[in-house]
Amino acid sequence: MIVVASRSKGSAKGFGSGDCRRDVAILSPQFLALLGDRPEDAPQTSWQEFLTRVHPDDVAPLQAALQQHLEQRVPYKVEGRVQHRDGHYIWFRIRGQAFWDDEGQPVRMVGTIEDVSDRKHLEQELIKALEFRELLFNESNDALFWSIPSP
């Protein structure tokens, strides 16, 4: 997979192309930087190596989405967590498209990977706020009143 990356308003994106038959991915310096790596650390990798850094809870859904894409040719779009070199996880979104040969076998894969950590953290905060609101309004026996002053 040959990957280049760009930054736009705090989100990092990588673009790539991979050899499905040989399971080879060549990563750009920008993509590696997203994971806290340097080009000299791993200029070439594989899908299996990438999966070793994916959060254990996200490996099966990631593989299932890829398998479904390759077998049923449905759009490949999945989110998950991957471990940064310093140990923390970042949330990512992968979108991809395979290309098949005349026999229907996948030969190449192109796509994007994007850091969506900020959005995922905001979603988690919203869920906590909604759970608190639910607890406040559904578990309380007290009535809540407020008034809005007239202009």
CATH code at 39?
3.30.450.20
49 falls within a domain: yes
* pLDDT (mean) for 122-147: 75
107 falls within a domain: yes
User: With 50 as the cut, is the pLDDT of residue 148 above it?
Assistant: yes
- What domain range includes position 19? 4-139
What's the token pair of residue 22? 């040989």
18 falls within a domain: yes
- On average, the pLDDT of the chain sits at 82
147 falls within a domain: no
Closest CA to 66 of 80, 83, 56: 80
Q: How many CB atoms lie within 10 A of CB 78?
A: 19
**Considering the entire predicted model, what is its pTM?**
0.73
66 falls within a domain: yes
Max avg pLDDT among 12-26, 80-94, 116-130? 80-94
Structural domain tally of the chain? 1
Q: Is residue 54 a contact partner of residue 76, using CB atoms and an 8 Å limit?
A: no
145 falls within a domain: no
144 falls within a domain: no
Q: What's residue 86's pLDDT?
A: 93
